[in-house]
Structure 1
Amino acid sequence: MDDASVYNMGSAVELSGALALWLAVFLRVPTARRSHQQRMLLLAVAGLAGSITVYLDPVTAVLNRTFVFAQSCGLFMNVWGVFSSALILDFVLAAMSRRRPWLVYSAMAVTTVALVALNATIAPNSGCVTSEYVPWYSLFWWILVAAHLTGTIPCAVMCVRYSRQAKRDRAFRVGLVLLAGGFISSSVFWTVVLAFLLARPVWLGALFPLNIGVTAWLMTAGTALPLLLAAHRLGRNALALWRLRPLWRELVGAVPHVALDSPRGRFRETLGGPRSVYLRLYREVIEIRDAILILRDHVTPQTVERAREYVRTRDLPENRIEPAVVACWLAEARRAKANGSPPLPNPAASAGFRGHDLRDEIDFLLEVHRARRILPSIPLGSARPEYSTPVPDGYGEEMTQTLQPEPQPQSGIQREP
């Protein structure tokens, strides 16, 4: 591959990376408004995105035809680069609780004036990195490179440092590593500029667009990672909501008063933002759980034990045995309640799902729903003799409960507090 091919390929990567970076920045604006640090980070990324954008050949051509810097050969893009470095450095100092905005932006203003003055006097057209206009000792470019490295290197170091501290939050750590990679890539670019000024190899100049493109894509990945994770959570919660809806409808149909709102369409329930879908899923899991607690009062320990013995004959994996047991006795409990069988409340018992969080409960209920569809219905019986014995709750735990032999009135169902 010759130098021209490398340059053209790099230009394509640079253009696509700049567009993707700006898209990620705009999509992050709504969430960044709620956090001062997020806003400052987004400003720093936007500054770098602008610095990359003005280096695109079509943008450079438009700027040179439009602005007063038309004969300055890149002065506008270099001044913008100094501004983006100031934004990055301001973010680093703010993250370290040492913010000095007057110092940072005063230094930016002095640097900008110096570059404009150098470009207009002793180093005319120094904005062009060519052997014709810029000697290796060009003060213009040494100041410009120092300004960029002053912003990008500390930011890369800070991202790496905080990524090491974020051991428990893997997504946050990965995002910081990607941002650090983007700032390191930007630092490499300006180091390559120095190497080009000193040695002038043609092949090194052909790598400039590719280096900028890699920087843009790394910054895009780091900036867009929270959006991708939010989209993943939204999709996973919407899918769980969709798959749990048949189980929810059956149980709420048997125990209508557990439902907070009237049922809506299955498709309509899955629409909305991440927070609204999550809240609907959470509410649906709670309502299913409440219905299970109530329906459990309509079966006996003997019924649950027969369900367990039947499930053991089905040769199911260990993690699917308990959900299958619950599916079996739930079917019997629904039939018993529909036939008017009085409940025998268990107010002293505690019932818990397997697992420690909402995701574990969802996985368990999905297995219940799956078992309900694949296991044939069997007559388990619902006789209620007098007894005092441990009653399995159907979730792998036991609860000790003395049931009363006297039938209770149908309206006297007691729910756990």
Structure 2
Amino acid sequence: MDDASVYNMGSAVELSGALVMWLAVFLRVPTARRSRQQRMLLLAVAGLAGSITVYLDPVTAALDRTFVFAQSCGLFMNVWGVFSSALILDFVLAAMSRRRPWLVYGAMAVTTVTLVVLNATIAPNSGCVTSEHVPWYSLFWWILVAAHLTGTIPCAVMCVRYSRQAKRDRAFRLGLVLLAGGFISSSVFWTVVLAFLLARPAWLGALFPLNIGITAWLMTAGTALPLLLTAHRLARNAAALWRLRPLWRELVEAVPHVALDAPRGRFRETLGGPQAVYLRLYREVIEIRDAILVLRDYVTPQTVERAREYVSMRGLPEHRFEPAVVACWLAEARRTKANGALPLPNPTASASFRGHDLHDEIEFLLEVHRARRIVAGFPPDSVRPTRSTPVPDGYGEQMAEAVRPEPQPQSGAQREP
């Protein structure tokens, strides 16, 4: 592959990277408004996205035709790059509780004025190293490279440092690693610029767009990771809500008073934001559980024992055994209640379900739903019990702890990349 092919491929990667980077920034704006540190991170990423955007050939050409300030083939993009480096450095210092805005932005202003003066006097037309043969000792480019590395290297170090501390939160750690990769890639770019000034190899200049494109995609991945995780949770909860609806409807028809609201359409229930869908799912699980606890009073220990014997002959895997037992005696309890029998309250039975969170409870209930196909062959009770006895149904009140609300991501730059 020749230099021209590498350059063209890199330009395509650069353009697509810039587009998705801006998309990720705009999508993160609603969540970043709630956290000052997230806003600063998003500003830093937006500044870097802007510095990448102005390096795109169509944007550079448009700037050169529009602004007198940009007539030096890249001065505008380089000044913007200094501004983005200041945003990055400000974010790093804020994350370390050592923010010095006057120092950071004052140094940015001095650097910007110095570059403009150098470009107009000592080193005119030095803004485009890929076409202008500026000397290796060009003060303009040494200052510019130093300004960028001062912002990107500390941010890369900070992201690596915090990623090593986030051992339990894999998603948070991955996001920091991706952001660190983006800042490292940006640092490599400016190191390559410095190497190009010193050695002038043509093949090195052809790598500029590809390096910029890789930086954009890494930064996009790190910035958009919380959005992807939120979308994944939304899809998972909506799917669980959809799959649990038949079981919920059957139990609510048998025990109507457990439903908080009137039933709505199955598809309509799955629509909404992440929090709304999660709360509907949580409420539906609670209502199913409450209905099961009510229906326990309509079966006897003998019924449960017959259910266990019936299921044991089906040769089901261990993780499907208890849900199938529950499905069998639930079917009998619904028949008994529909026939007008009165409930016989039972003392609390110990729980055999050992879930840890809402996800485990949902999986248990889905197994109960799947087991309904074997219920048809379960023989009904012929005699209604005359006294109250405990029902070892494998599904007890301790599940209230198992279905506690899912923890929400903490705000702040140190909890969400």
What is the TM-score normalised by the length of structure 1?
Answer: 0.92
Match of 2:366 in 1: 366
1:364 Cα deviation (Å)? 0.4
Tell me if structure 2 keeps the 8 A contact 1:241–1:270. Answer: yes
**Partners of 2:27 and 2:382 in 1: CA distance:** 57
Match of 2:261 in 1: 261
Letter in 1 for 2:15: L
Tell me if structure 1 keeps the 8 A contact 2:179–2:223. Answer: yes
Match of 1:175 in 2: 175
CA offsets 1:94-125 (integer angstroms, 9 cap, x no match) = 00000000000000000000000000001111
Match of 1:405 in 2: none
Match of 1:54 in 2: 54
1:388 Cα deviation (Å)? 8.2
**Partners of 2:308 and 2:125 in 1: CA distance:** 85
Please report the RMSD computed on the Cα atoms of aligned residues, expressed in angstroms: 1.7
CA offsets 1:26-49 (integer angstroms, 9 cap, x no match) = 000001101111110000000000
Tell me if structure 2 keeps the 8 A contact 1:131–1:200. Answer: no
Listed as ranges, the matches of 1:395-406 within 5 Å are 395=395
**Partners of 1:256 and 1:375 in 2: CA distance:** 22
**Partners of 2:361 and 2:82 in 1: CA distance:** 53
Q: Which moved more, 1:279-288 or 1:65-74?
A: 65-74
Residue 150, structure 1, aligned to residue 174, structure 2: no
Letter in 1 for 2:165: Q
Match of 1:215 in 2: 215
Residue 72, structure 1, aligned to residue 55, structure 2: no
**Partners of 1:367 and 1:335 in 2: CA distance:** 21
**Partners of 2:352 and 2:94 in 1: CA distance:** 46
**Partners of 1:20 and 1:213 in 2: CA distance:** 11
**Partners of 2:394 and 2:6 in 1: CA distance:** 65
Match of 1:24 in 2: 24
Listed as ranges, the matches of 1:368-387 within 5 Å are 368-381=368-381, 383-385=383-385
Tell me if structure 2 keeps the 8 A contact 1:354–1:396. Answer: no
Gaps of 5+ in 1: 399-417
Distance 1:132 1:78, change over 3 A: closer
Distance 1:397 1:278, change over 3 A: closer
1:89 Cα deviation (Å)? 0.2
1:68 Cα deviation (Å)? 1.3
**Partners of 1:182 and 1:389 in 2: CA distance:** 65
**Partners of 2:313 and 2:82 in 1: CA distance:** 73
CA offsets 1:42-91 (integer angstroms, 9 cap, x no match) = 00000000000000000000000001124211000000000000000000
Listed as ranges, the matches of 1:183-198 within 5 Å are 183-198=183-198
Distance 1:60 1:376, change over 3 A: same
Residue 295, structure 1, aligned to residue 295, structure 2: yes
Match of 2:11 in 1: 11
**Partners of 2:263 and 2:396 in 1: CA distance:** 31
**Partners of 1:169 and 1:47 in 2: CA distance:** 28
Distance 1:246 1:130, change over 3 A: closer
Tell me if structure 1 keeps the 8 A contact 2:248–2:284. Answer: yes
Distance 1:131 1:378, change over 3 A: closer
Match of 2:117 in 1: 117
Distance 1:49 1:311, change over 3 A: same
1:306 Cα deviation (Å)? 0.5
**What is the aligned length?**
398
Letter in 1 for 2:68: V
**Partners of 1:348 and 1:313 in 2: CA distance:** 28
Distance 1:316 1:130, change over 3 A: closer
SS in 2 for 1:340: coil
Letter in 1 for 2:186: S
Letter in 2 for 1:18: A
Tell me if structure 2 keeps the 8 A contact 1:336–1:382. Answer: no
Distance 1:9 1:343, change over 3 A: same
SS in 1 for 2:391: strand
**Partners of 2:347 and 2:40 in 1: CA distance:** 54
Instruction: Quote the sequence identity (%).
Output: 89
Tell me if structure 1 keeps the 8 A contact 2:304–2:329. Answer: yes
**Partners of 2:25 and 2:379 in 1: CA distance:** 60
SS in 2 for 1:252: helix
Distance 1:195 1:9, change over 3 A: same
Q: Which moved more, 1:69-78 or 1:136-145?
A: 69-78
Residue 165, structure 1, aligned to residue 165, structure 2: yes
Letter in 1 for 2:329: W
**Partners of 2:36 and 2:55 in 1: CA distance:** 29
CA offsets 1:318-354 (integer angstroms, 9 cap, x no match) = 0000000000000000000011111111354465743
1:378 Cα deviation (Å)? 1.5
Match of 2:107 in 1: 107
Tell me if structure 2 keeps the 8 A contact 1:258–1:290. Answer: yes
**Partners of 1:99 and 1:382 in 2: CA distance:** 77
Distance 1:25 1:132, change over 3 A: closer
1:307 Cα deviation (Å)? 0.2
Q: Which moved more, 1:335-344 or 1:321-330?
A: 335-344
Which aligned runs of 4 or more in structure 1 are off by greater than 3 angstroms?
Answer: 130-133, 347-354, 382-391, 395-398
1:391 Cα deviation (Å)? 3.2
Letter in 2 for 1:58: P
Match of 1:277 in 2: 277
Gaps of 5+ in 2: 399-417
**Partners of 2:114 and 2:70 in 1: CA distance:** 19
Letter in 2 for 1:136: W
Distance 1:284 1:396, change over 3 A: closer
> Of the two structures, which has the highest relative contact order with CA contacts closer than 8 Å and spacing of 6 or more?
2
Q: Which moved more, 1:295-304 or 1:122-131?
A: 122-131
SS in 1 for 2:346: coil
Match of 1:336 in 2: 336
